[in-house]
Chain A
Amino acid sequence: MHRRFVISALCVCLTLSAAARTRPHYGGTLRVETAGDPWQMPDGIARRLVLDTLTTASDTGGAQPALAVRWESQNAGHRWEFWIRPGVHFQDGEALTSDTVAAALTDVCSRQTGVGAGAGAASGACPWRTVRGVGASVVFISDSPVPDLPELLAQTEFAVARQDASGAVIGTGPFRVTGFANGALTLVANDDCWSGRPFADAVELRTRRAVRDQWLDLSVGKADIVEVPPELLRQAEQQHMNVLVSRPVDLLALTIAPEGWFASREMRQAAALAVDRTALYNVIFQKQGEVTASLLPESLSGYAFLFASDRDLDRARALRGGATTAAMMLGVDDNSSTMQLAAERLALNLHEAGFSVQVLAAGSRQTSALALRRVHLEAAGAQAALDEMLSRFGQNGAGSMTGTGTDAAALWQQERGVLENETIVPLLWLPRAWAVGERVRDPRLLSDGAPDLSDASLEGAK
């Protein structure tokens, strides 16, 4: 029943984006406000507008051509060759070549900060050993097979960027940065963009803006697109805001470091059985998203229900035994009050099972055995999504495809192998949502819940 509701809600959201329409108009300035960094995930709106990736994710999760027009796996998935789209230019007029692509991707790998730094951080090491330009193609070599490399390269962290003479970041995308003033980043349309000129002439992006201020700006017509955190979706609906809701794209999960008290699997399992997902869902997140014990949302895998998500306090207590544990710390990977509340709720759950847990104050740098994380999922295909989640949780290459029969069954076995360690306890899958002003025509969300500004147009523009 619950699943049907989720599917219905998703359909309503997608139908909204596919509503009847006239053709999009050209011109005007889109005004967007966010609380996050314009260059960092999960939104990274400026990054998405300025830069392109070799591939993009289709709605069904497959890779489709972007800066690469085709690709081929060789040597049993150890070598991949991607052919670069001809005639593409950076926003300063310099031609895109296989060498510039290889250099940009090498730079991405060298800048990656490793795992555990939060949802915005780049994931673990790049899945390839070397990347180089060979004629019109880019060749990736890896030590182990990477069957879903085309899907992985669709992630925005692998976008192709360059610095121009002034040191500014430039790309091949539909917009280019022209300035930053009074807290607003201004981007203008790239007329020669290989994927077509965007409809809006410009995007004005106000960043690091509190949600309350964003909503105020939308209500007085000073903003066109603003954020709606999932826990405020009901409030937004009550205020009759026009809201676009994505499918579930953010995983709320408890991670347990297998050390100290939690070195034993039984203790980790006890902690996992003690958490009350339903309370988090009902109270903290106002019944948005879906309760889960899976690393993939139900809509992506179709099998998430196979992972039991019910609380079993008696079994948790039995597994913990009579041992008296020292106070353990629970860290939170973002400073929002909602995440702090969720962490407090988890600490209470664990206390009921006999664990002594203290929540670290927001912004604390103290290390902790337990961490509440909100992890963004960008991939739209099941296998690439599982790989992405494992990478974000620092479990690259974890599990193995031992299943037989269908892909879904093999994927389930791989995921089950990872979750059996009880070091990752998935709790909730949450959607992303945006409120849209009346001026915006054809508002749509990308598969990972970010607003699609390249294809948005404005009412009254010509």
Chain B
Amino acid sequence: MTSARYNPPQRMMDKMRWAVVVAVLVGLLPAAHAANWEQPAGDLAKQIAALTGPGPARLTIRDESSLPAGEMPVIRRLLERDLRGFGVVTGASDSATLSGTLIRVTLSENLQGGLWVAEVVEGTETRVTMLPVALGAVVAVSSGSALTLRRTLMITESEPVLDAQLFSVGTLQRLVVLEPDRIVTYIRSAAVLGSGMASGSWVVDQRFAISAGRPLPRDVRGELVAAQDHLFDAYLPGVMCSGTNTGAQVGVACADSDDPWPLTAPVAGAIGQRAFYNALRDFFTGVLAPGFGMELPPFYGASGIPRPTGTGLLLNMVDGRVMLIENNVLKPVAGANDWGSDFAVIRSECGTGVQVLVSGSGSAASGDSLRAYELVGREAIAVSASLPVEGAVVAIHAGQDGRGATVVVRRDAPLRYEVWDASALCN
């Protein structure tokens, strides 16, 4: 039953608020672009001016990189302005044409990122100067029928990331990142001067090595879980680490362990379900503790999901089937043929309030995807559009508050791991 309220907020108001936000963002877009190229354009202009000296010159720019076409005029404008600042006057004026100095700028790129190359041609002599340029990025949004998926990039790592979660230590929020051989904690920077880093970026705070007694499997997986009497537990195949907070700092201790990994949180005094992980492979053995009194085949992942009759357990089996344990009965879930091996159950204000965030199944011709589903009866119903993901989703874990999920994406060329915070917005 909904209670009547005086002058409740109207949906139109929400829409107007969004319209204002969008308008502001759109208005900021050109400025953001300019800010991206401000520094490199200034640097390259300085390098060019050191070769030409002040005077008129002819400037040509060609784009041999993957920059969007709209960036070229912005870069040209900045470059011309900055060259002018160093006394190098470019343009179509007679003096520029007759000066005999040609500045040929090529926006190129290599494996490390952008490379801007300037050739200064004077008579038969050509001198060259180059500038490496960082290429930037991104927030992705996908609009769907019932809700919209939104993902925001948190960090990018060159090492594999297994899980990343936010934990609060007093008033300080820490991002804890689990890698195969270490745990790294991040704190938000308050503008690190001189680093070029924006205020609020995550910066590395502490690192802790993890030493495993035996080699980790090739498709290594891991999970960070909030603990009741300390900060967190980290589970890896054959290894378990405990994270504690001593004052403002985090401490981590690791040991070989075959303890089962938690699947569901304890509810109303009842023990949560745990599962034994096959430390030589990339799946759970199928043995649960305390279990449901039934034998399960191996599965990749499982998560508790609220059901009308209590909490069910949603499982992604190694053979590709998706199963649901409800009232101690194992049932197949229909409509999950497109699911990949990773999912997380999240809560939102939309639809039934509980969605399953799922990776793609490998049927896509290129790239991976994220999509939200709701479980109606024993059928999975898509409730969002598919959010395309560049790269492959290698892990999805529900966030500590259950309202979002951490999505780890592996990108190639260059190889890197992106950690995204994914959540659902109501349409």
Contacts and interface: CB of A to CB of B under 8 A. Distances in A.
A362 B281 CA distance: 50
A168 interface: no
Interface stretch (B88-96, B106-114, B194-202, B376-384): B106-114
Nearest to A65: B181
8 contacts: A10-B413, A19-B364, A20-B362, A59-B412, A60-B414, A197-B217, A198-B218, A409-B129
A198 B111 CA distance: 28
B112 to A, nearest CB: 6
Contacts of A303: 108, 115, 117, 128, 130
B343 to A, nearest CB: 11
Contact of B111 (A26, A60, A462): A60
B362 A21 contact: yes
Given A20-B359, A20-B364, A409-B130, A196 B215 contact: yes
Interface stretch (A294-302, A341-349, A386-394): A294-302
Contacts of B47: 405
A180 interface: no
B391 A195 contact: no
A399 B218 CA distance: 42
Interface in B306-349: 318, 320, 340-342
Interface string A137-174: 00000000000000000000000000000000000000
Nearest to A247: B413
A192 interface: yes
A382 B320 contact: no
Contacts of B365: 19
B80 interface: no
A352 to B, nearest CB: 27
Interface string A170-200: 0000000000000000000001111111110
Contact of A20 (B280, B367, B412): B367
A409 B115 CA distance: 10
B392 A20 contact: yes
Contact of B219 (A24, A302, A381): A24
B74 interface: no
A20 B390 CA distance: 9
Contacts of A191: 280
B367 A302 contact: no
Contacts of B413: 10-11, 14, 59
B106 A305 contact: yes
A407 to B, nearest CB: 8
Contact of A299 (B110, B119, B393, B412): B110
B397 interface: no
A82 interface: no
Contact of A406 (B108, B132, B218, B369): B132
A244 to B, nearest CB: 12
Given A198-B218, A303-B130, 14 more contacts: A18-B412, A23-B318, A58-B158, A59-B412, A60-B111, A191-B280, A192-B214, A192-B215, A197-B215, A197-B280, A199-B219, A305-B64, A406-B130, A412-B130
A59 B410 CA distance: 13
Nearest to B131: A406
Given A26-B281, A302-B108, A409 B215 contact: no
Contacts of A58: 158, 414-415
Contacts of B111: 59-61, 299-300, 380-382
Contacts of A23: 219, 282-283, 300, 318, 341-342
Contacts of A25: 318
Interface residues of B, number: 57
B215 A300 contact: no
A409 to B, nearest CB: 4
B369 A20 contact: yes
A19 B392 contact: yes
Contacts of A441: 362
A12 interface: yes
A305 B119 CA distance: 11
A17 B412 contact: yes
B60 interface: no
Contacts, number: 153
Contacts of A18: 367-368, 390-392, 410-412
B361 A20 contact: yes
A452 to B, nearest CB: 11
Given A20-B393, A25-B318, A306 B132 contact: no
Contacts of A196: 215-220
Interface string B202-219: 000000000000111111
A417 to B, nearest CB: 13
A449 B372 CA distance: 37
Nearest to A411: B130
B217 A21 contact: no
A382 B111 CA distance: 9
Contacts of A199: 218-219
B415 A59 contact: yes
B245 interface: no
B228 interface: no
Nearest to B388: A20
Contacts of B366: 12, 15-16, 19
B66 interface: yes
A405 B115 CA distance: 13
A208 interface: no
B219 A408 contact: no
A25 to B, nearest CB: 7
Interface string A253-272: 00000000000000000000
B360 interface: yes
A4 B368 contact: no
B363 interface: yes
Nearest to A88: B215
A70 to B, nearest CB: 12
Interface string B405-423: 0000011111100000000
Given A22-B340, A409-B130, A3 B115 contact: no
B62 to A, nearest CB: 9
Interface in A396-431: 405-409, 412
A216 interface: no
Contact of B110 (A10, A16, A301): A301
Contacts of B391: 18
Contact of A22 (B106, B110, B216, B341): B341
A408 B115 contact: yes
Interface string B282-293: 110000000000
Contact of B128 (A7, A302, A306): A306
Nearest to B391: A18
Interface in A1-40: 3-4, 7, 10-12, 14-26
A288 interface: no
Contacts of A406: 130-132
Interface string B140-171: 00000000000000000010000000000000
A292 interface: no
A454 interface: yes
Contact of B129 (A15, A193, A299, A405): A405
A20 B217 contact: no
Contacts of A3: 64, 108
Nearest to A2: B64
A310 interface: no
A194 B410 CA distance: 22
A61 B363 CA distance: 31
Kindly name the residue among A22, A192, A193 whose own CB sees the greatest number of chain B CB atoms within 10 A: A22
Contact of B367 (A19, A194, A409): A19
